[in-house]
Amino acid sequence: MKLLEDRIRRDGRVKAGNVLKVDSFLNHQLDIDLYNEMGKEFRRLFPSDNITKLLTIEASGIGIACIAAQYFHVPVVFAKKSQSINLDGSVYAARVQSFTHGRIYDVIVSEKFLSPADHVLILDDFLANGCAVSGLIELVESAGASIEGVGIAVEKGFQEGGRLLREKGIRVESLAIVESMDADTGEIRFRR
Amino acid sequence: MKLLEDRIRRDGRVKAGNVLKVDSFLNHQLDIDLYNEMGKEFRRLFPSDNITKLLTIEASGIGIACIAAQYFHVPVVFAKKSQSINLDGSVYAARVQSFTHGRIYDVIVSEKFLSPADHVLILDDFLANGCAVSGLIELVESAGASIEGVGIAVEKGFQEGGRLLREKGIRVESLAIVESMDADTGEIRFRR
Q: Give mean pLDDT, residues B58-81.
A: 97
Which ranges of A46-160 does DSSP label H, i.e. alpha helix? Answer: 60-72, 131-142
Query: Cα separation of B151 and B72, whole Å?
Result: 13
Q: Which residues contact B60 (CB under 8 A, 6 or more apart)?
A: B26, B27, B124, B125, B126
The pTM score is: 0.96
Mean model confidence pLDDT for chain A: 94
Q: Determine contact: A59 vs chain B, CB below 8 A.
A: yes
Contact A29 B88 (CB under 8 A): no
Nearest to A114 by CA among A56, A58, A172, A72: A56
Which residue from A minimizes the CA distance to B23? A87
DSSP one-letter code for B27: S
Give the residue-averaged pLDDT of A121-133: 97
Whether the per-residue pLDDT at A102 is higher than 80: the answer is no
Torsion of CA A79, A158, A33, B71, to 10 degrees: 20
CA atoms of A65 and A50, how far apart (whole Å): 17
Shortest alpha-carbon distance between residue B24 and chain A (Å) = 8
B70 touches chain A (CB under 8 A): yes
Residue pairs between chains A and B whose CB atoms are closer than 8 Å: 122
Residue A83: closest C-alpha in chain B: B101
Neighbours of A184 (CB within 10 A): 7
The CB-side HSE value for A169 (13 A sphere, CA atoms) comes to 2
Q: What is the DSSP letter of A162?
A: H
**For the range B46-50, what are the long-range contacts, defined as Cβ-Cβ under 8 Å and sequence gap of 24 or more?**
B46/B72, B46/B121, B46/B148, B46/B149, B46/B151, B46/B173, B48/B119, B48/B148, B50/B119, B50/B146, B50/B148
Asked if the Cβ–Cβ distance from A113 to B30 is below 8 Å, we say no
Q: Does the pLDDT of residue A83 top 60, yes or no?
A: no
For the beta carbon of residue B116, count every other beta carbon within 10 angstroms.
Answer: 8
| Mutation target among B13, B22, B28 for the A interface, most CBs of A within 10 A | B28
Label residue B88 by pLDDT band (50, 70, 90): low
Contacts of residue B113 in chain A, CB cutoff 8 Å? 23-24, 28-29
Strand partners of residue B105: B96
Whether pLDDT at B87 is above 60: no
A106 touches chain B (CB under 8 A): no
* B125-178 per-position pLDDT tens digit: 999 999 999 999 999 999 999 999 999 999 999 999 999 999 999 999 999 999
Distant-in-sequence, close-in-space partners of A169: CB < 8 Å, separation ≥ 6:
none
Q: How confident is the model at residue B102 (pLDDT cuts 50, 70, 90)?
A: confident
Residues across chain A: 192
Amino acid identity, residue B57? I
For A21, residues 6+ apart whose C-beta sits below 8 A from its C-beta are A12, A13, A14, A15, B86, B88
Q: What is the pLDDT of residue A97?
A: 85
Tell whether B98 lies on the interface with A, counting CB pairs under 8 A.
no
- Chain B residue nearest residue A36, CA to CA: B70
Task: Provide the phi-psi class of A186: left if phi over 0, else alpha when psi is between -120 and 50, else beta.
Answer: left
CA distance B85 to chain A (A): 6
Question: Interface pTM (ipTM) of the complex?
Answer: 0.96
What pLDDT score does A84 carry?
A: 53
Residue B78 has pLDDT above 60, yes or no: yes
Quick one: residue B86, left, alpha or beta (phi over 0 = left, psi -120 to 50 = alpha)? alpha
H/E segment holding residue B65: helix B60-72
Please indicate whether, in this complex, the C-beta atoms of B59 and A59 are within 8 angstroms of each other: yes
Chain B partners of A58 at a C-beta cutoff of 8 Å?
58-59, 62
Q: Residue A137 burial (CB < 10 Å; 0-12/13-18/19+)?
A: buried
